[in-house]
Amino acid sequence: MERIKVLIVDDSALVRQMLQAMLESDSAIEVVGAASDPYVARDMIKEHRPDVLTLDVEMPRMDGVSFLRNLMRLHPMPVVMVSSLTEKGADVTLQAMELGAIDFVTKPKIDLAHTFEQYGEEICQKVKAAARVSRSSLERQYARYVANQQSHPKVEVLPASRPSEKYSADAIIKPLSSPARHFKTTEKIIAIGASTGGTEAIKEVLMRMPASCPGIVISQHIPAAFSGPFAVRMDSVSQMTVMEAKDRQQILPGHVYVAPGGKHLLVERDGARYICRLNDGSPVNRHKPSVDVMFRSVAQNVGINAVGVILTGMGADGALGLQEIQQSGSPTIAQDQKTSVVWGMPGEAVKLGAADQILPLDKIAKVILDLVTK
């Protein structure tokens, strides 16, 4: 089996050295070069024809987003961004995701030499996931970006949490011995979970939702510094009001609540209303927020009045939770393989039989609206 050829692009010699060591620790990966800036990278791409690029966000001579824009226009290839955990780094990285970057890893600002290496396993996983993305998928993403730029004013992930023990949703919410009974009401809740490629998939769904849509809760794997800027970017393209969720906040029609990075988002019943609850417990499936946690809370507390949707993402987080929503009597949707950046999470849900419908991304919003108006 041929190894995945990776080109590292970063202006820091230390980061280039550390990335190379981390990537080459995986026998499935071969680092074919390391470039100090995009101009050097351009020539090395022609020479080495890498399968995946790791690209620094902030570099001299040409920033990472400008280089990525040119790359996706002329020679689309899978790119994993390397970003700093800052507000500026978050905004620029989300721009890169819009352009077609597959994923990102974050580098610590303090004591880089002793802390960055802890993310080696995560970096290798993301590079290997990126290598599986087809050129046609990248071309479709760039075409969506161009179309959105033409129709909207210029005004998007995964966390860099340290590897942790793998807990299930039981660590946050205990399973019920039998599904809770709920009466059918006119008040609906739409629950959406996503990971790799999800920032753009979520945007495609939200752009098609009217202001009169029932309340939406979202768990996207994203670090704390990124969830706020992500919510702001989604608010700028949606007719709904999009915000980062706050604890005990009422879930209202026409509003979207994004789980804060580093916190689980749960939906609970408080009298006659639904509210957001934030939980600072253990990561579940090594994620915080976890889609499984949010979906289980929806299954237990909303039941037949929900719609569960699982979008593109690496791994399996959310698959079991979607099954629980289905078992509670609510309809469920999984994004199809062709339009997913990574068909991990939705693919696992489909294997479980947890998805009532498997749909291309551009059809999901209409089907959701049809379901909530029945």
**pLDDT reading at 155 higher than 50:** no
Q: What is the Cα gyration radius of the chain?
A: 20
Q: Which residue do the tokens 């290997």 mark?
A: 128
- DSSP letter at 40 equals H
What's the token pair of residue 288? 């915080």
* Residue 289 to residue 194: CA distance in whole angstroms: 10
- Start-end of CATH 3.40.50.2300 domains in the chain: 4-151
Phi and psi for 322 in degrees, rounded to 5?
A: -65, -40
Report the helix count and the strand count for the chain, using DSSP H and E.
13, 14
| 292, 284 contact by CB (below 8 A) | yes
> With respect to CATH, is domain 169-372 assigned 3.40.50.180?
yes
- Start-end of CATH 3.40.50.180 domains in the chain: 169-372
Q: What band does 162 get if pLDDT is binned at 50, 70 and 90? A: very low
Res 130: pLDDT = 94
* Residue 72 to residue 124: CA distance in whole angstroms: 22
**pLDDT reading at 86 higher than 80:** no
What's the token pair of residue 181? 């009974």
Cα angle, residue 29 at apex, residues 61 and 314 outer, rounded to 5°: 85
Single out the residue of 292, 295, 297, 296 nearest to residue 274, CA to CA: 297
Single out the residue of 233, 206, 219 nearest to residue 97, CA to CA: 233
Residue 13 identity (one-letter amino acid):
A
**pLDDT reading at 217 higher than 80:** yes
Q: What band does 177 get if pLDDT is binned at 50, 70 and 90? A: low
Kindly state the average pLDDT of the residues 9-24. Answer: 94
Indicate the range of 20-34, 70-84, 140-154, 213-227 predicted with least confidence: 140-154
Q: Which residue do the tokens 């291309």 mark?
A: 360
88 CB neighbour count, 10 Å cutoff: 13
In this predicted model, what pLDDT tens digit does every residue of 183-199 receive, in sequence order? 677 799 999 999 999 99
In this predicted model, what pLDDT tens digit does every residue of 358-368 receive, in sequence order? 999 999 999 99
Which class in CATH covers the domain with range 4-151?
A: alpha beta
Element spanning 269, H or E: strand 264-270
- Would you name the residues annotated as active-site residues? 195, 221, 317
Res 109: pLDDT = 74
